[in-house]
Amino acid sequence: DQQVKQNSPSLSVQEGRISILNCDYTNSMFDYFLWYKKYPAEGPTFLISISSIKDKNEDGRFTVFLNKSAKHLSLHIVPSQPGDSAVYFCAASAGGSQGNLIFGKGTKLSVKP
Amino acid sequence: ETGVTQTPRHLVMGMTNKKSLKCEQHLGHNAMYWYKQSAKKPLELMFVYSLEERVENNSVPSRFSPECPNSSHLFLHLHTLQPEDSALYLCASSHFRGRSGANVLTFGAGSRLTVL
């Protein structure tokens, strides 16, 4: 059973608008959540993280929101740019597990000029 | 070189071959990982090495054999693989600090494996 779920395989957004990528999880022991971006023929690169004791973390155009009661997090990209087109992975880790990351299947974001 | 380097980038092998994937990190990290990415599946954690000791083996078949000779190098030895083992194999490293902060992994570009 998947502990981290990204239910939208793809998302298409117009340049300049907001992109919202969603992620749900089942394990209440997760204490850190991370977002990674992956371009074709490259490895995933770290974007932003959030601790379970916070509900928001912002870094430039990227903001992650965490709703612990709903076991849901989202990544907002504002404004979206064509260079943001990539696959976005949500990941989570539980304390005491060597920090091992459990990943979702990813959402492919396409930002159209 | 900086970051995490994986070689080869592409590998085609028959089911009776023996080959190895190599990973090298130049970040001074204390943990290294092998992940497998198959089509339409999440990244699957295969092995974790912390301070050169294997700390996790996620029920991976014995035809995959990891080796971590030092904190900068990680190998994945492949023997009598099956066609369903064809996938992208990603190496990663991190500076694991226990519960004080997110464990941010830095990934290599991956080795694309095709088993015929």
Digit-coded pLDDT (tens) for B16-71: 889 999 999 999 999 999 999 998 889 999 999 987 677 777 789 999 999 999 98
Q: Where are the alpha helices (DSSP H) in chain A?
A: none
Q: Which chain B positions have a beta carbon within 8 Å of A101's beta carbon?
A: 43, 45, 103, 105
Q: Which chain B positions have a beta carbon within 8 Å of A44's beta carbon?
A: 43, 90, 107
B56 at A interface, C-beta within 8 A: yes
Under a CB-based contact definition with an 8 Å cutoff, are residues B18 and B115 in contact? no
Q: What is the pLDDT of residues B85-104, one digit of tens each?
A: 999 999 999 988 776 778 89
pLDDT score, position B1: 56
Closest to A95 (Cα-Cα) out of A37, A46, A35, A29: A29
Q: Do A31 and B99 touch (CB under 8 A)?
A: yes
Give the closest-approach CA distance of A2 to chain B in angstroms: 9
Task: Please provide the distance, in angstroms rounded to a whole number, between the alpha carbons at the two ends of chain B.
Answer: 33
User: What distance in Å separates the CA atoms of residue B29 and residue B96, rounded to the nearest whole number?
Assistant: 8
Q: What is the pLDDT of residues B56-82, one digit of tens each?
A: 777 899 999 999 999 899 999 999 999
User: What distance in Å separates the CA atoms of residue A68 and residue B10, rounded to the nearest whole number?
Assistant: 41
Give the closest-approach CA distance of B103 to chain A in angstroms: 6
